[in-house]
Each structure stands twice: as C-alpha cells, then as structure tokens.
Structure 1
Amino acid sequence: MDDDSDVSGLRATLRANPAGHWLSTPAPQVAEQLAQTDADFVVVDTEHAPTDLESVEAAVRAVDAANATGEDGAADTAAVVRVAWNDHVRIKRVLDTGAAGVMAPQVNTVDEAEAFVAAARYPPEGHRGVAGTRASRYGRDLDDYYERANDRVATIAQVETAEAVDNAGEISAVDGLDALLVGPADLSAALGVFGEYEHEQFVAAVEAVLDASTVPVGTLATSLDEVDYWAALGFDYQIVGVDAGYLRTGAAAALERYEQVGEE
C-alpha cells in the first residue's frame, strides 16, 4: 500500500473509516440529494442498474454540485463508480467523467487486481489514456489533473467469491489498490449460504478477509441492523444504505404511521 503521505482525495478518505450511500437509480437528482447528506462518498452503480455513461456523468456532476468545497479544494462527498466488469475500457470511460474513484466487481486474483489498478492509473504506474475530458475541465486543467490523478483517484476491489477470500491478502498488497469491499449478497451466494450473514461459513470468510487485508475493508448495509452488525464484525468502512431501500422503507413507514393514526 502506498505511504499515507503519497495519497490525497478519496484515497486518503478511505483510510479514515468513511461512510457512503449506494445509488441504484440513475437520476442526478437522487445522486445530488444523497451527496447533500454529507456522506463521504456516493457509489454510482452500473453493474446491476440501468445506468449508461451519460447517466454516470450526470450523477457525478450532481454529486460535485452538491458539495461544499474544503480548504484544500477537495470535495466533501466523492463520487465512486462501480463498473459492470473489471474492464479497462469501462474503467477509463467512467474516470473521464470526473469520478473520484472506481470500484470493480469480482476481483478474484492478484493478476486481476493488478490489471484493475493499471487501468485506473496514468503512465508510468498504469496505462490509463490521457484526454481532455470532464475530469480535467475538458482539457483546461489537463497538466494538473495528470500530475495529481494517480495520487487521488481511488481503486476499490470487490471480494465476492471463495477464491477472492483465499487471495485477499495478496490482492490487498497490490501496489496502488486502496480498499476492498466485501459484497455480502454475492459472497454468501458463492458460499452456498445466500443471505445468511450470521452463518459460520460466511462469518469465517469475512474474518479471513479482515485479518489478511493490508488495506481498509468495507461492505454494504441495507438496514440499520446491518450497519450495527457489520460494525461489530470489524469492517473499516460501510456503504450504509441504498437509495431504493431508503425510498421503500420511508414510504412504508409513512403509510404505516397514517394507518396507526387512523385507528386512534
């Protein structure tokens, strides 16, 4: 892992127990509202959400617009994009939108982790292509962006299989990788205990990742109880909820309250 003094932006934030939201609805208005909660980051999903590249850019722009700007010029809430696959073309395109970080699913081996990091880094550390896109204010700040991007743009590899659990220590040690994220649904499914997050096999896998990793390890909560549970297991950071879940639970709670009032 890079020395702390060498990183900034989201790469540094990930080492400070941050919390974020998950955006499954490809609407900039939703992204902006999530960012207005002062979360450390918002993850824009493109793997299991109907989110095309234009929608990604709109969501990233909305997160940026919601931010108050700190003294160092860094945004308070960072936009992370979860690509649909660990593919260098997908990675470079979402980073060109100005995203502060990228998350890749199903990173199972050291070779896959190295390819992931290389796709997100400019030469000589990687092979990300250089262009005057939104990330560099359409070329106006290209020199400055090129100089700072490798220190600021975060890479998060998802652990979702038994193979990834076995390789977690070596994956985490890949130079330039900033964090791991355990995908609880996919990992539990891969282990044959889907959704059974208290099952000994799932808990053992999580503990193995936490023990082996040399970078922060996070996960996704879909309820307040899960926030508590994941914290107790020892995760370093969390995505504390999903936009669709917030909408579903809020709507259900309002209807339930109305029904209770009507019965009084």
Structure 2
Amino acid sequence: MTNRTKEAIESGNHPLGTWISIGHSTVAEVNARLDLDFLVIDMEHTTISPRTIEDMARAVDAAPGETDTVVRVPWNDPVRIKRVIDIGVAGVMVPMIGSAKEAQDLVDSLRYPPEGIRGIAGSRATGYGRNLEEYVNTANGSLLTIAQIETEEGLENTEEIAEVDGIDALFVGPADLSGTLGMFAEWDREEFQDAVEHVIETGRETDVPVGTLTVDLDDVESTVRDGFDFLIAGKDTTQMMESTERAIETYENALSSSPASEL
C-alpha cells in the first residue's frame, strides 16, 4: 500500500494541495486532473456527507494523474473518522487538536487492534472485503495523519502533540488560530506571527513537517518563505468567485472602450 502525499511530506518534497468545499464529484475530478499532489475535502464547515466523500474519492481515483484525497473531518471522533477512512482515502486532517492525549486518540482511531481501536469491515478501502486480510495487515501507519494546531491549548502543547508516534504532520489553521488569539485575520500582527513561528520551529525541532492554507494566491510566495513544509493553496469557492469577478470586470472594460459604447 502506497500513499504518495504522505511519502512526499515525510521526505520533505513540499507537496501542494488545494481546498475543496463544494460537495460534488465534478469539482474533485476537475482539480485532480491538474498537477496537484492532493486535495483536501472539507467536512468540518460544509454539508458534505460520507456518501459524497465516496463519490468524490472515486472521481479523484478515476482522473488521470496521481492526486490523493485527504479529508478534513468535522472532529476528533473515532466513529466519524472510521466512516471516512473506510472509503479508502489517503489520510485525514483533524481540527483543534489541543493535547498529546487528543493526538493519541486520533492515531488510535486510524489503527486496527491491538495498536488502535479501528473496527474491521469489508469496506471500499479493503476492496469490499476482497483484500481484507492484506489491508488490515498493512494499513496501520499508512494513512496520512495531520493534526491541526489552531487553539491556545494546541499552541501550548505543540511539542507534545508532535511527539506522538503516528502524527505525520502539523497544520496551522490560520483563521481559527488568529481568532482564538483575539486577533482574527490580523495576519501581520506580531503575536500571530510569533504563534505561527512557534509551530514551525517546533516542527523542525521534532522533525515533524508543518503545513498551512493560503486562500489568497498572492500570499503563496511569502508563505513558502515562512518555512512551511507543504501548502494548501486556493479554495474552490474563492477561486470561482474571483474568476467570475475578473470576467465581469473584463466585460465592463471592453464595453467602456468599445466604439459602440459612445453611441
């Protein structure tokens, strides 16, 4: 069993993903046709269901290329996590991990006994049972496991979280982190920058990669300079609106410069 994105993150190859919040397989397929390492499908702040995740994962798998599907689950809940990973995705990102215990609970949710608590079933991940024994014997440790650091508790316990065996990467959630620090969207505020740097430095010290999200593509270069190991660049809804706004502006400019507009 291979997991290209997990291997790329662990190898320091700086993989790139994008953010998907529209629950439709076409959106997943279109993005998977591009030269992206992975897609993150968001279940935390959307109405996307496990059934939709399954359709989107199929679309990604069917698209040409080697894009992986990673799912940001709603919470660190072993039942919800189990239903997602049984679909056969490459990994999960879990919000608001605040302590080493929560990080260990996450790892346990992704592993079969005796190392964890994941239930065994003939799901899509196992070829609907056809490859059950092989999958169960090789699945532990194969799923990309990303813990989001976006609370004051998470900041205080970043090192302990990173040191939990099975946590593959940390992820700075900029919106929630700035909000919990009482400085929402004040990206240039020194206290916020210090918090982000703390997570990055902790990742370096513990040899755990750190990633983040930038919706504004103009910020990609500065985000890379900050020292992140992987990046999620862009969000489907934002890019669609910005593209449409450009079309409106282009049309209005064309009309205003057209001789016909002077009549």
TM-score, scaled relative to structure 2: 0.92
Q: Which runs of 5+ in 1 are unaligned?
A: 1-5, 69-75
Provide the residue aligned with 1:263 in structure 2.
256
Quick one: which amino acid aligns to residue 23 of structure 1?
Answer: I
Does 1:160 pair with 2:123? no
224-233 vs 16-25, greater mean Cα deviation: 224-233
Cα distance in 2 for residues equivalent to 1:252 and 1:220 = 22
Deviations 1:199-219 (A, max 9, x none): 101100011111112211101
Q: SS in structure 1 opposite 2:167?
A: coil
Cα distance in 1 for residues equivalent to 2:189 and 2:141 = 39
Q: Quote how far apart the aligned CAs of 1:122 are.
A: 1.7
Does 1:240 pair with 2:233? yes
Cα distance in 2 for residues equivalent to 1:8 and 1:83 = 19
Cα distance in 1 for residues equivalent to 2:139 and 2:246 = 43
Kindly tell me: are residues 7 and 162 of structure 1, through their superposed partners in 2, closer, same or farther at Cα, counting changes over 3 Å?
A: farther
Provide the residue aligned with 1:72 in structure 2.
none
1:221 to 214, 218, 221: 214
Once the two structures are aligned, what percentage of the paired residues are identical? 47
Cα distance in 2 for residues equivalent to 1:197 and 1:105 = 20
Contact kept, 8 Å, 2:169 with 2:209, in 1: the verdict is: yes
Cα distance in 2 for residues equivalent to 1:19 and 1:251 = 24
Provide the residue aligned with 1:73 in structure 2.
none
Deviations 1:214-244 (A, max 9, x none): 2111011101122122112111111001110
Contact kept, 8 Å, 1:10 with 1:152, in 2: the verdict is: no
Q: SS in structure 1 opposite 2:22?
A: coil
Q: Which runs of 5+ in 2 are unaligned?
A: 258-263
Contact kept, 8 Å, 1:96 with 1:133, in 2: the verdict is: yes
Mark the structure with the bigger radius of gyration: 2
Provide the residue aligned with 2:46 in structure 1.
49
Quick one: which amino acid aligns to residue 156 of structure 1?
Answer: I
Cα distance in 2 for residues equivalent to 1:223 and 1:165 = 24
Does 1:175 pair with 2:165? yes
Cα distance in 1 for residues equivalent to 2:256 and 2:105 = 60
Q: SS in structure 2 opposite 1:240?
A: strand
Q: Quote how far apart the aligned CAs of 1:28 are.
A: 0.5
Deviations 1:86-113 (A, max 9, x none): 0000111000111110111010000000
Cα distance in 1 for residues equivalent to 2:138 and 2:70 = 17
Deviations 1:119-157 (A, max 9, x none): 011223211111111111101111222222224211101
Q: How many aligned positions are there?
A: 252
Quick one: which amino acid aligns to residue 212 of structure 2?
Answer: T
Provide the residue aligned with 1:112 in structure 2.
102
The alignment's C-alpha RMSD in Å is: 1.5
Contact kept, 8 Å, 2:3 with 2:90, in 1: the verdict is: no
Deviations 1:41-78 (A, max 9, x none): 1111111011011111111111111143xxxxxxx111
Q: Quote how far apart the aligned CAs of 1:7 are.
A: 8.0
Provide the residue aligned with 2:36 in structure 1.
39
Provide the residue aligned with 2:261 in structure 1.
none
Cα distance in 2 for residues equivalent to 1:100 and 1:124 = 22
